[in-house]
Amino acid sequence: MSYILVVDDNQGIRRLFNEMLVEMGYQVVNTTCGEEALQQILLEKPRLVLLDVKMPGLGGLNTLRILSILDYKIPIIVMSAYTESASIRQAFSEGLITEYIEKPFDLKEVIIRIANLLEGNREGLALA
């Protein structure tokens, strides 16, 4: 199964992305924390991950660090309302974050970013 993984502890954001992405023709899997995201990624590599920073348990930045150690090459869009936090600036400087959207986000911008990332990450994967 080829899908987009949405990782956010906010049910409203998961629902919003699920509806938007399904309407765009993608399959979506939702998780609420980094631990669940890692399990899902290890089970089956998603095409793209939308990852919140602040979540209970394993947060987004620690999830990125683990994925970096495991050398997983998955496009990841990090989402946060805390753009100015020192930990996010540090993650940028370490190269952990390459794609970032600030909450609240513009859905049109998010759709364009997702489409651009998936177009650049075809590797034989078709739309769901």
User: How far lies 107's CA from each of 52, 95, 127, in Å?
Assistant: 16, 25, 20
In whole angstroms, give the CA distance from residue 111 to residue 103.
14
Per-residue pLDDT of the chain (128 residues; tens, 9 = 90+): 579 999 999 999 999 999 999 998 999 999 999 999 999 999 988 999 999 999 999 999 999 999 999 888 899 999 998 777 889 989 999 999 999 999 888 888 998 999 889 886 544 333 33
Per the listing, tokens 């952990």 go with 96
The pLDDT of residue 123: 42
The pLDDT of residue 120: 66
The pLDDT of residue 20: 92
Which is nearest to 60 in space by CA: 51, 69, 70?
A: 51
The pLDDT of residue 73: 84
All structural domains of the chain = 4-119 (3.40.50.2300)
Q: 50-75: string of b/e by CB count within 10 Å (b at 16+)?
A: bbbbbbeebbbbbbbeebeeeebeeb
pTM: 0.88
